[in-house]
Amino acid sequence: MPLFSVIIPTYNRASFLKEAIESVLMQSFRDWELVIVDDGSTDDTRVVCNAFDDDRIKYVFQKNAERSAARNNGIKNANGKFICFLDDDDFYHKDHLDSFNKVIEKNPTNQVFITGLKIDNKIEFNYPNQDCKQVIWKHGASPMLVCIDSILAKKTKFDSSYVPQEDFFWLIRILQNHQIISTEKTTCSLRFHENRSTFSTQLEVLNKQFKNISSMYQYMKMKKFYDFPFISAKSFKVRVANQYWGYIKKYKSIGENETAKVIQKELFDFYDLSLVQKLEVKLKSFFKS
């Protein structure tokens, strides 16, 4: 049994995938396996994967079912004691797994760990151990930054109902009952490009994404997530308002002003924002920025 199983879900990103795989191969810590889950790609993804001659690499093909299903399939096929994730367009620094190994050795009973990242090779963002959960609630965290005990991972699946926030929903549910410890280092890189799924302004994609996000926050409100020790009622409303504002801005950018108004109304009616919070959203909407 390897210490780490690294899971890469991928779909039609053969041009990026090679660098992601190579970043795993270059790890200074060598006790790992790599599970690549091809989510029904129609490009050269299989060719890229087969070009690597390493017994630690496992290639799994599935019919297209989106990223959450691919990650869940990867977890199902993983044999490691701990599971790490990597997106097909991002990459690890060579000390990524070694940093997790060191913090695991110091905290052998803990099940969840996190590291920092570099964004587009410019901005570094780290998660301090002090108030780590609050920082995650405020800023989010990609699964690429997380190392989780495989037993816990197999019990906590990604929910495709909440794309593109299924990552966030997965981690917040885990943090409800588990401590998270940070390496307090920057050990991986996220790459910005126009094909990242969260950047889309296509109307069909926006409608699906907002429907899912709206459902997620309504579920969180119904289940009183704001009662979690690291989430206050105020911080819950702030996060919801910021997320909704992001979609108001996207809809306005493609001329869907009426849809933007409907989203703003839902935000005001359902989440009981304060007068100040409502004013902030209206000012942002007025200036479109």
Domain boundaries, the chain: 4-190, 200-287
Above 80 in pLDDT, residue 283? no
Q: Determine the pLDDT at residue 86.
A: 98
pLDDT: which is higher, 33 or 279: 33
Pick from 20-24, 46-50, 230-234, 266-270: least confident: 266-270
Give the count of beta carbons closer than 10 Å to the beta carbon of residue 212.
18
User: What digits encode the pLDDT tens for the residues 56-111?
Assistant: 999 999 999 999 999 999 999 999 999 999 999 999 999 999 999 999 999 999 99
Q: Determine the pLDDT at residue 200.
A: 59
CB 270 within 8 A of CB 220: no
User: What digits encode the pLDDT tens for the residues 74-83?
Assistant: 999 999 999 9
Fold (CATH) for 4-190: Spore Coat Polysaccharide Biosynthesis Protein SpsA; Chain A (3.90.550)
Compute the distance between CA of residue 71 and CA of residue 250 in angstroms, rounded to an integer: 28
CA distances to 45, 54, 181, 195, 250 from 173, in Å:
32, 35, 16, 28, 28
CB 81 within 8 A of CB 108: no
Give the count of beta carbons closer than 10 Å to the beta carbon of residue 104.
21
Pick from 144-148, 167-171, 232-236, 279-283: least confident: 279-283
Report, as an integer, the average pLDDT of 282-287: 62
Above 60 in pLDDT, residue 288? no
In terms of pTM, does the model score above 0.85?
A: yes
Above 90 in pLDDT, residue 40? yes
pLDDT band at 286, cuts 50/70/90? low
Q: Determine the pLDDT at residue 289.
A: 44
Work out the mean pLDDT of the chain and round it to a whole number.
92
Residue type, 15: S
What tokens appear for 114 in the block? 């996190």
